[in-house]
């Protein structure tokens, strides 16, 4: 193991990666470099920025494997910075804008309070729950968060559609389906399916835009509501991509019971989540769990046995478990 102070320094300086990425995306550097390599002076001239500061920012990011630089000092995009452009097939820029934002920082500042007192961090920072904050109080936050979710959903649903055989299903409801990104991929890959995105009413107009521009308005619709009250009835497949992890056990059971009561008798629920593996090594699920600890009100990542206990409490059992190439799990559930 590296000396203790080196380990601590490295972990502590994670903030610099976060903020450097945020600055590059906020300034639009990846999109500018998509037009071709440029020196810091040339980029700064276009952005009306400080050339020396920009050069230092990009020198740092190059040493962190984001962007490249040629011997004559011209910066260019690489595989990492390309995914931060507006036109990337799966754009990760909203993740950077979400994660590096001041509002996310203010919620994370409440982590000690969350741990010491159990106070919900978003509530402590802004006086309201997370989804109310992003959808009703801060439109930039809503844009960044919902955009980040859409990018994740695009990736997961592409992998899901490639991996899972959905040929027996004809009506699909994507519960907590955000702006409909996942549904568009599932429907494009399965022409026999008609589908619904069910999410908070605030996401309705963005979802309508996504479904219309995918040319799916005749096979897809958005329904707004609160999934703790009820979910749309009569579907043979309900999917939930990264929804269960937002909530505590009692809320999850209520949500799963609502779906169980709404689905066709021989219907299925597919829950897509990153399971916390056994062992002490790093795993994305453990970082994501820190996110759940601060952003949600009771959200958490769970181990396999925790998921199984949750499903059993809702009167559901796992009839199949499939691991996607993203290493996220699909739990296929039935009554």
By the criterion CB under 6 A, which residues form the site for ligand SAM? 131, 149, 152-153, 176-178, 182, 199-200, 203, 226-228, 241-243, 246
Minimum distance from residue 52 beta carbon to ligand SAM (Å) = 39
Smaller CB distance to ligand SAM: residue 24 or 144? 144
Minimum distance from residue 332 beta carbon to ligand SAM (Å) = 17
Minimum distance from residue 206 beta carbon to ligand SAM (Å) = 10
CA atoms within 13 A on the CB side of 215: 2
| Distance, CA of 217 to chain centre | 24
Residues labelled as active-site residues: 245
All residues at 6 or more sequence positions from 28 whose CB lies less than 8 Å from its CB, including other chains: 47
Minimum distance from residue 119 beta carbon to ligand SAM (Å) = 20
Phi, psi at 69, each rounded to 5°: -135, 140
Q: CA distances (Å), 268 to each of 176, 307, 316, in order?
A: 16, 16, 10
> Are the C-beta atoms of residues 243 and 274 closer than 8 Å to each other?
no
| Distance, CA of 160 to chain centre | 15
d(CA 161, CA 156): 8
Phi, psi at 272, each rounded to 5°: -110, 115
- The three-class DSSP label of residue 328 is coil
d(CA 294, CA 300): 10
Smaller CB distance to ligand SAM: residue 65 or 261? 261
d(CA 123, CA 130): 7
Minimum distance from residue 165 beta carbon to ligand SAM (Å) = 21
Smaller CB distance to ligand SAM: residue 136 or 213? 136
Smaller CB distance to ligand SAM: residue 82 or 246? 246
- The three-class DSSP label of residue 74 is strand
- The three-class DSSP label of residue 119 is coil
């Amino acid at each position: 193991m590296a000396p203790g102070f080196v380990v601590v320094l490295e972990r502590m300086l994670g903030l610099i990666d976060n903020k450097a990425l945020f600055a590059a995306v906020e300034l639009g550097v990846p999109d500018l470099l998509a037009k071709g390599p440029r020196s810091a002076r040339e980029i700064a001239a276009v952005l009306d920025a400080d050339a020396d500061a920009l050069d230092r920012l990009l020198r740092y990011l190059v040493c962190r494997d984001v962007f490249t630089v040629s011997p004559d000092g011209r910066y260019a995009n690489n595989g990492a910075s390309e995914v931060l452009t507006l036109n990337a097939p799966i754009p990760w820029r909203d993740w950077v804008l979400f994660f590096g934002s001041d509002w996310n920082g203010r919620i994370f500042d409440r982590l000690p309070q969350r741990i010491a007192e159990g106070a919900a961090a978003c509530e402590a920072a802004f006086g309201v729950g997370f989804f109310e904050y992003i959808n009703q109080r801060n439109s930039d936050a809503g844009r960044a968060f919902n955009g980040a979710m859409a990018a994740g959903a695009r990736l997961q649903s592409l992998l899901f559609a490639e991996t899972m055989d959905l040929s027996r299903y004809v009506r699909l409801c994507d519960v907590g389906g955000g702006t409909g990104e996942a549904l568009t991929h599932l429907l494009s890959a399965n022409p026999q399916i008609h589908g619904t995105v069910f999410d908070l009413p605030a996401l309705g107009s963005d979802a309508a835009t996504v479904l219309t521009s995918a040319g799916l308005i005749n096979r897809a619709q958005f329904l707004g509501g609160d999934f703790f009250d009820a979910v749309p009835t009569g579907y043979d497949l309900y999917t939930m991509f990264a929804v269960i992890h937002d909530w505590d056990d009692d809320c999850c059971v209520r949500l799963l019971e609502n779906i169980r009561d709404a689905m066709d008798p021989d219907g299925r629920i597919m829950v897509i989540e990153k399971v916390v593996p056994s062992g002490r090594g790093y795993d994305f699920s453990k970082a994501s769990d820190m996110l759940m600890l601060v952003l949600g009100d009771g959200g958490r990542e769970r181990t396999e046995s925790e998921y199984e206990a949750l499903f059993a409490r809702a009167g559901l059992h796992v009839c199949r478990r499939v691991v996607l190439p993203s290493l996220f799990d699909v739990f296929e559930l039935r009554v």
